[in-house]
Amino acid sequence: PQLINRIAAGEVIERPTSVIKELVENSLDAKATQIHITVRGGGQSLVRIQDNGHGMVEEDLKLSVHRHTTSKLSHSDLWNIHTFGFRGEALASITSVSKATLTSKVLDHPHGFSLYIEGGTQHPLKPIACETGTCIEIRDLFFATPARLKFLRSPSQEYIHITHCLDRFLLLNPAVSFFLRLDEKQKIFEATSLENRIQHLLNMPSTQGFWLQTQIQDITVTGWGALPGAHRRNADRLFVYVNQRPIEDRMLIQSIRFAYQDLIPKDRYPCVILFLSIPYSDVDVNVHPAKTQVRFKAPQEIRAVVIAALKKALMQNGQ
């Protein structure tokens, strides 16, 4: 299984940012309201994610690093996925190519357990005094796959990706407090409203934008967009979520650009946050292990709804 895990790691864990994405998703799945994220050396030397979620009992902690053990999916559920995780391969993959310490405690247990696993080799569990929740510490990522190590970018490059990835979670979860530490840089995002989170993150008062909400048949689009005058010069900031998952999708991004097309100068870029809600049977999130891509059954319909939603809101706001 070690070889399989390392091969899977190549797919799921492309780079240090992928580790952070998977671990933060797990913390959110565990209903954490506070997540501490510490990163050193661009994530290659250290990624530590500590949460106050529901934690794991001894047996689950042991199983969590095994491939295809997920506590989140029953077979008939495949089209009806409400949690981020469901494949049960992230922890198995990550711990097969790093030196990992997993610590976890559930609420009604007096102490927690700690598990050390190096290159996929699991050491015996140890009881440990700790708070309720889970702390996962990943050191020396890819030490077990030197070929992958060679392709890592510089820490500063990686921090751009990490920030991009975390921004998506910050906007999706304004009610969760995030404490970030990237090397010596510290940033705190206290739990707040979506409005305040937008303001904080995009550095733009939410009055420079508009809220939008449109429902056409069983597709709902909600979100926020900056007014054309408030748009960015250097790069666009588009955040798109489908059924509460941050996703990357060309079609959706092009739809947003299209809706703004005649309203902003060519050298300006839109700044939009869109939450799409689509019946689970009309979208497949199980396309890629990293789960940032989706496949729509009727992409043209989605495109039309997104454009309609944005145009309507822009018009209502005098554009």
Write out the residues near ligand ADP by the rule CB under 6 A.
Answer: 22, 26-27, 30, 51, 53-56, 60, 64, 70-72, 85-92, 134
Using CB under 5 A as the binding rule, whether residue 242 contacts Mg ion is answered as no
The Cα-based distances of 301 to 53, 153, 249 in angstroms read 38, 39, 15
Q: Which of 42, 43, 85, 246 binds Mg ion (CB under 5 A)?
A: 85
Q: Which residue is nearest to ligand ADP (CB)?
A: 85
Residue with smaller CB distance to ligand ADP, 58 or 236: 58
Minimum CB–partner distance for residue 31 and ligand ADP (Å): 9
Question: Binding Mg ion by CB under 5 A: which of 17, 18, 26, 93?
Answer: 26
Cα distance between residue 24 and residue 35, in whole Å: 8
Q: Which does 158 bind (CB under 5 to 8 A by kind): ligand ADP, Mg ion, none?
A: none
Which does residue 98 bind out of Mg ion, ligand ADP, none, counting CB within 5 to 8 angstroms by kind? none
Which of residues 132 and 319 has its CB atom nearest to ligand ADP in the complex? 132
CB-nearer residue toward ligand ADP: 169 or 260:
169
Name 222's Cβ contacts closer than 8 Å, sequence gap at least 6: 211, 212, 213, 274, 275, 277
- Using a 10 angstrom Cβ sphere, with 0-12 exposed, 13-18 middle and 19 or more buried, the burial of residue 112 is buried
Residue number with the smallest Cβ distance to Mg ion: 85
CB-nearer residue toward Mg ion: 106 or 219: 106
Q: Which residue, 43 or 209, has its beta carbon nearer to ligand ADP?
A: 43
Pick the closer one to ligand ADP by CB: 30 or 141.
Answer: 30
Instruction: Supply the minimum distance, in Å, between the C-beta of residue 79 and ligand ADP.
Output: 16
Rg (CA), the chain: 20
Cα dihedral across residues 299, 300, 302, 307: positive or negative: positive
Question: Of Mg ion, ligand ADP, none, which one sits near residue 72, judging by CB under 5 to 8 A according to partner kind?
Answer: ligand ADP
Residue 175, CB-side half-sphere exposure with 13 Å CA sphere: 4
Please state at what angle helix 250-260 crosses helix 299-316, rounded to 10 degrees: 30
Minimum CB–partner distance for residue 25 and Mg ion (Å): 5
Rounded least distance, CB 19 to Mg ion, Å: 11
67: region left, alpha or beta (phi > 0 left; psi from -120 to 50 alpha): beta
* DSSP codes, 114-167: EEEEETTEEPPPEEE---SEEEEEEESTTTT-HHHHHT---HHHHHHHHHHHHH
Minimum Å gap between C-beta 282 and ligand ADP is 22
Do the strands 237-242 and 271-277 form a parallel or antiparallel pair, or are they unpaired? parallel
Distance in Å, CB of 136 to ligand ADP, minimum: 6
The minimum distance between CB 100 and Mg ion, in angstroms, equals 14
Q: How many residues bind Mg ion (CB under 5 A)?
A: 3
**Tokens representing 196?**
């305040």
Tell me which of 90, 252, 283, 285 binds Mg ion, using CB under 5 A: 90
Work out what residue 249 binds among ligand ADP, Mg ion, none; the CB cut-off runs from 5 to 8 Å by kind: none
Q: b or e along 233-254 (b: 16 or more beta carbons within 10 Å of the residue's beta carbon)?
A: eeeebbbbbbbebbbebeebbe
Q: Which residues bind Mg ion (CB under 5 A)?
A: 26, 85, 90
